[in-house]
Chain A
Amino acid sequence: MSTADNFVGIVVHAGGNVKGLFGPRFLPGVVAYLARHGDGTSPEGTPEVKAVVCVKQVVAIGDEIAFTDDGKSVDGDYLDHAVNEWDVVAVEEALRMTEAASAAGEESEVVVVTVGGEENEEALRRCLAMGAQRAIRVEGQSGALLDPLTVARRLAPVVAREAADVVLCGVQSSDSVQAAVGTMLAELLELPRVAVVKEISLDRADGTATVMRELEGGLVDVVEVDLPALLTVQTGINEPRYATLRAIKQANLKEIEVVEPSQDAPGCYEILRIYAPPRGEGAEMLEGSPAEVAARIVELVKARLS
């Protein structure tokens, strides 16, 4: 498939490097990016380093579970909520990048974006309390069951508008484990991307970042990527900070921008049904007191090792 039809712009970095190709839908983002970087200086009041982090409020199921009547989701009363673990480290990584810039006297900004209902603003407030400056919620269905292409499409115009140097996403969400939204979003934004990153060093003078991609079995692939870029971040890359009580209170007072999504195209799948999986069918359960359990474990270990 030719990309000639939708190729309208080349962003050139101050150093003369080609920075990326952008389609017409994202022209406003390109213009914004050029405004910040095109002549090597930033207009007053716009940050010199900007990171956008896409976050998700994930759900967890406790010991009990009940399904909705249509059999396509879990009853909301049986769900706990949290910010996706991978996204928290992505926010931390963005904060560290911009803090490094601030320490060098440069303006910087971290913007967090989510897709969800009003109740998902809790996740955004947690990120604000960690230190993000702004938060945007794209209106969407809560409950975590949107397909990844729909999520990426809803994020795309908002993230494009922000024209960040770096867009960060978690590798995956703990509830849906798609590992797809970040890479899809990069494609919709026509951004270079690297998935499953455990170390990032930015070289803004050069217009690149050098990142460590964590492969199976512990091997590390060192990759150089052109900026602006989208990176999906693996846990272990940092130890995320806790928000102070004061920061949490301040975050609760901040305004969250709400954006209506554009008309949805059909998603990449339709959920037919969900169901309780077969559990522990093969396992023989050891009953009794801890002492009895321990005694059985010792017996089993000895029998297997003799």
Chain B
Amino acid sequence: MSGTIIVAEHLQGRLRDVTRELVTAAATLPGPVTVAIVAREPERIAAQAELEGVNEVVLVRAGGDEFENDVYQAALQALIAQRAPEVVLVGFTVGGMGYAPAVAARLSCGFASDVFGLERRDGRLVCRRAFYGAKVHGEVALPAGRTSVVMVRPTVFAPAADGASTSRSDMSIDPVTPRARHLRFVEAPQSDVDITTADFLLSIGRGIGDRENVERFVKLAEQMGATLSVSRPIVDAGWMPAARQVGQSGKTVKPKVYLALGISGAVQHLAGMKTSGAIIAVNTDPEAAIFDVAHYGAVADLFDVADELERLF
């Protein structure tokens, strides 16, 4: 067993950033790095996968143009059977969640997900991941002597730069009849607000507590000259439209100022805002993960602070 296989993630003909990040993550491990592209016409995406640090691109001709989890599972199992990689890296993404754990269960692989650090230690792969709702970090060791499937948290590793052209090879697998079939995509509805272009976002989360309080922050944002954005629970509860959601399932934002009120900082939220210019966070919980990425923090009741902000603007 040797080397690392990265399963490329692509959507509508474009390689997703997470694949570049996986290449950077793979650089910390011994052995050659192979990127596998699973698609009906993988050669159409191959050039995008020729990144710095990649030794080979494997074109796995299978399935349709878009992701189907049975196709990816069959392809990855064939890759493992044929090449016996030490490590397989997959993004901790909606796509990855549909097949990578299934491969690990089928082949009894070592497996860890939402991984933000990895290294070889004493012949085993050691991964860092969070436990207890991110309040605690842990190190887990994957069993030696078998392929490890590792799902890597997006936006942790820097994306790999474009590289020189690499060697390519073809691989075919037995035809797969997918039991879950892609029918079509539905784009998010158009909205008159674009939080991705705002210089100043006032962002509210679960801490606002009640639907009745939303209006107050709509007004406060207006008063402060900010655009209002929200974290996922506010959209889940139906209090604000999805167009205002920051995070992995919403929008990635990079305003000059991101003022977070009552947002604890789920990993998926942080991934969508952590590169903002100045992050100011107000939260009652001193252990809230939002303070990990904030430049300025206050442990305070957001309503008390909002009272004062209303007075000052």
Contacts and interface: CB of A to CB of B under 8 A. Distances in A.
Interface string A191-213: 01111100000000000001011
A215 to B, nearest CB: 5
A268 B109 contact: yes
Contacts of B259: 297, 301
A183 B97 contact: yes
B157 interface: no
B133 to A, nearest CB: 5
Contact of B188 (A220, A279, A284, A296): A220
A280 B180 CA distance: 43
B304 A290 contact: yes
B297 A286 contact: yes
Contacts of B210: none
Interface stretch (A34-42, A173-181, A253-261): A173-181
A291 B183 contact: no
Given A60-B133, A221-B66, A305 B309 contact: no
A219 interface: yes
Given A175-B133, A274-B137, A188 B94 contact: no
Given A268-B104, A290-B300, A305-B200, A177 B114 contact: yes
A141 to B, nearest CB: 14
B45 interface: no
Given A216-B94, A239-B237, A222 B186 contact: yes
Interface stretch (B33-41, B46-54, B124-132, B159-167): B124-132
Nearest to B271: A216
Interface in B32-88: 66-67, 69-70, 73, 77, 81
B183 A270 contact: no
A177 B130 contact: yes
30 contacts: A59-B133, A148-B111, A148-B113, A149-B105, A174-B133, A177-B130, A183-B102, A183-B105, A188-B105, A192-B180, A195-B94, A196-B97, A215-B249, A216-B249, A217-B251, A218-B188, A223-B182, A229-B180, A235-B232, A268-B143, A274-B138, A277-B136, A277-B137, A278-B292, A280-B292, A281-B292, A298-B309, A298-B312, A300-B278, A305-B257
Interface of B: 11, 16, 66-67, 69-70, 73, 77, 81, 92-95, 97-114, 126-127, 129-143, 151, 179-188, 199-200, 224-225, 232-233, 235-238, 242-243, 245, 248-252, 256-257, 259, 267, 277-278, 280-282, 285-287, 291-301, 304-305, 307-309, 311-313
Given A152-B105, A268-B143, A284-B296, 16 more contacts: A1-B77, A61-B136, A177-B134, A184-B104, A193-B180, A222-B183, A268-B108, A271-B138, A272-B126, A272-B140, A274-B137, A280-B297, A284-B297, A290-B308, A294-B305, A297-B305
